[in-house]
Structure 1
Amino acid sequence: MSVTEVTASGTRRAVTRSWVPEVPVALEFNGLAYAVMMATPRDLDDFAAGFALSEGLAASVRDITDIAVAEVDNGWVVRAALTGLGIDKLTERVRTRVAESSCGLCGIENLAAVARPLPLVASHGAIEPAAIFAALAAMEPQQPLARETGAAHAAAWVSAEGTIGCLREDVGRHNAMDKLIGAMARAARPLSHGFVLSTARCSYEIVEKAVRGRATTLVCMSLPTSMAVARAEAAGLSLWALAREDSVLLVNDASA
């Protein structure tokens, strides 16, 4: 699309820009409408699987079957079947949920739900800072949507040596994390063997998704919130923040 760029000196010129796709994506589990998220319509099968895992609707990817993605008027619908313990939680959440959002506390029934204990992450070794710097240097070329639009978040799984093994993009930071969790789970590749690198603001939701996705180390490009730090400490998640090309902060070292 052609737009006008205006500089501080007052000059104007026509430039071409692309916009990051953002559409409503309805998630339906067992025939029940669970959530409508604003998301980028790619890797939606990974998104549905990762969302179910990070929301606690499924204990493992084996509990998620028959994922079907369909474009409809005004958006997309992703349908999946859940088995196991997630069925009861699905029914209860659908009954009590009054609002939907890709972030924040919308849909949580009460304040006590915010502080529910997280599962403890697996015992893990320390990540070398050199691996983080190597991944940061390699990340931008693997973000085509961000390069094209300048408005997409990314979440990546990185090996202990600093090699990016899987990356997903989305307009929503939580969605990118869910897509990564789903992609890795569906490929039977554990997030615990290495670390997760996210362009997102390091909020408590990103920490919780990382923990429920069974990551052991999370690296974010921003500083964490107080609740993010508290949740990481409680779950035993190693947390690095403010990752830059030449520096990074070790916020919580839970390595064995």
Structure 2
Amino acid sequence: MTDLVRTAHDRGISTLTLDSPGNRNALSAALVGGLADALTACGKDRDVRAVVLTHTGTTFCAGADLRDPPPPEALVGLLRQIVELSRPVVARVTGHVRAGGLGLLGACDIAAASTAATFAFTEVRIGVAPAVISLPLLPRTDPRALTRHYLTGERFDAPEAVRTGLLTAAGDDVDQVLEPMLDGLRRAAPQALAETKRLLTATVLQTFDRDAADLTALSARLFSSPQAREGMTAFLERRDPQWVV
């Protein structure tokens, strides 16, 4: 659909590939817009049974692009679009996922990764909070595990991501892991898939309805704060921010 999001179709499955290696598939305004357009096209195509979201390079998504961040409202819209899409959306991850990229995983209906993948909620380390991405994540993940990872920003592996509910499954070969799932989606009736997804996402969408405005405002406030400016500057300069002791 765009230079940043490539689309392919095979036997009822449309694959959307994030292809912005220059910034490790970070969520720039352009990438968010391109992915939203590609999802809209999938939702209108009767031949699309399900959508696979994957990536080029060694990083699925590095989080928000600090040089060209999307407005919080745009990210909320993208996450909700994934949740509301009448087709199941499946994340296929063979690389690293950070910060806002984890929101994409949380919004997807199924998420699988290779055991080489790593994960981290790095927001607290640059002076912000995982606010907007909490909309799909909090209803779907283990609260105690998420508390640790939100507060510390530690890196964790694919088995831990499965345990927390961030991933559906993981294995050395992610395509072998996904093969029976995609076969199941191809065998399912389109109407049945849409209505079953509607049942499964009802609680997530209630969270969007209740909390989206507050979390969008929180994200905007934190990103404009002095601590966030210091944290983002330190990140871009590859140094520790001033508060590290």
TM-score (structure 2 length as normaliser): 0.26
Higher strand share: 1
Higher helix share: 2
Q: Which has the larger radius of gyration?
A: 1
